[in-house]
């Protein structure tokens, strides 16, 4: 949800989860539930929480939090972007926890000077390319995944149907040009139809698999706090 970037969102319309929330809002989230793994109620809660948290940050200070992005998937709030001071990073996380719909917070905000327009455009282009690869993949139901990119790091969120879909999505993202790293906060829906909690470091590792020849990434289990990291391939 990059509210400070309108033009890149229009140019990269494939990056719906990263951009369109600022345009289509809650109604758009509801419209996607017919094909997403999440329910209408989950989509409404996520859209409401995202809008609420972003609005609180901008109301507090548009200058301090203009480059903080908020993405919510099944109650997990991902904060990414940049702030100038460590206390601003901590404050942003506190605002994220203030929403009654927040289940967990992943604070990926960096402390660094503003990146400027072109840096943000580059990230939006990467998001669009990753979205295009997910749409074109026969192994991935692309609408299940939210994509956020910051500084070349791609964050994946959402609900996967199974471990193989999760891994396939990470692999597709890892081979996109300009991607420095892929971090997955994707959850897997359990047999009851509810989104299961992310696999923690105490859980058994996921099944092994054979990666594509040009993709290189780790097989670390998902972590509730730090996500699963995938090293990009070269193409």
Tens of pLDDT along 1-14? 443 332 233 223 23
DSSP character at residue 198: P
Q: Which residues pair with 71 in a beta bridge?
A: 78
Spatial separation of the C-alpha atoms in residues 146 and 2, rounded to whole Å: 13
Write the pLDDT tens digit of every residue in 180-197. Answer: 999 999 998 765 555 554
| 205 phi-psi bin (left φ>0, alpha ψ -120 to 50, beta other) | beta
Q: pLDDT confidence of 19, banded at 50, 70, 90?
A: very low
DSSP character at residue 140: -
Tokens 């996520």 belong to 46
Q: Cβ contacts of residue 18 below 8 Å, gap of 6+?
A: 1, 2, 9, 69, 71, 124, 127, 131, 146, 147, 148, 149
| 168 phi-psi bin (left φ>0, alpha ψ -120 to 50, beta other) | alpha
Task: Please say whether the beta carbons of 115 and 4 come within 8 A.
Answer: no
Closest CA to 158 of 218, 76, 226, 97: 76
Which residue spans within the chain are E strands per DSSP? Answer: 68-73, 76-83, 104-107, 110-111, 145-150, 153-160, 181-184, 187-188, 228-230
DSSP character at residue 221: P
* Cα-based distances in Å from 100 to 52, 95, 97, 136: 10, 11, 8, 36
Q: pLDDT confidence of 15, banded at 50, 70, 90?
A: very low
All domains in the chain, ordered by first residue: 7-111 (1.10.287), 117-230 (no CATH)
Q: Residue 17: pLDDT above 70? A: no
CA 188 to chain centre: 15
Mean pLDDT of the chain: 74
Q: Residue 46: pLDDT above 70? A: yes
Spatial separation of the C-alpha atoms in residues 108 and 224, rounded to whole Å: 13
Q: Residue 42: pLDDT above 90? A: no
């Amino acid at each position: 949800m990059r509210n400070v970037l309108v033009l890149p969102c229009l140019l990269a319309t494939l990056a719906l989860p990263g951009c369109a929330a600022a345009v289509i809002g809650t109604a758009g989230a509801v419209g996607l539930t017919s094909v997403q793994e999440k329910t209408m109620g989950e989509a409404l809660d996520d859209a409401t929480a995202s809008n609420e948290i972003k609005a609180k940050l901008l109301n507090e200070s548009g200058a301090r939090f203009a480059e903080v992005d908020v993405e919510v998937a099944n109650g997990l709030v991902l904060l990414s972007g940049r702030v100038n001071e460590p206390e601003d990073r901590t404050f942003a996380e506190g605002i994220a926890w203030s929403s009654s719909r927040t289940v967990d917070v992943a604070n990926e905000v960096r402390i660094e000077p503003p990146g400027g327009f072109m840096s943000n455009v580059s990230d939006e282009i990467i998001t669009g390319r990753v979205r295009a690869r997910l749409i074109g993949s026969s192994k991935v139901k692309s609408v299940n995944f939210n994509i956020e990119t910051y500084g070349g790091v791609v964050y994946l969120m959402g609900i996967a149907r199974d471990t193989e879909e999760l891994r396939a999505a990470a692999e597709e993202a890892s081979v996109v040009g300009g991607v420095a790293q892929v971090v997955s906060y994707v959850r897997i829906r359990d047999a009851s139809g509810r989104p299961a909690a992310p696999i923690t470091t105490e859980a058994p590792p996921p099944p092994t698999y054979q990666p594509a020849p040009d993709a290189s990434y780790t097989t670390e289990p998902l972590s509730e706090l730090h996500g699963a990291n995938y090293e990009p391939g070269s193409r």
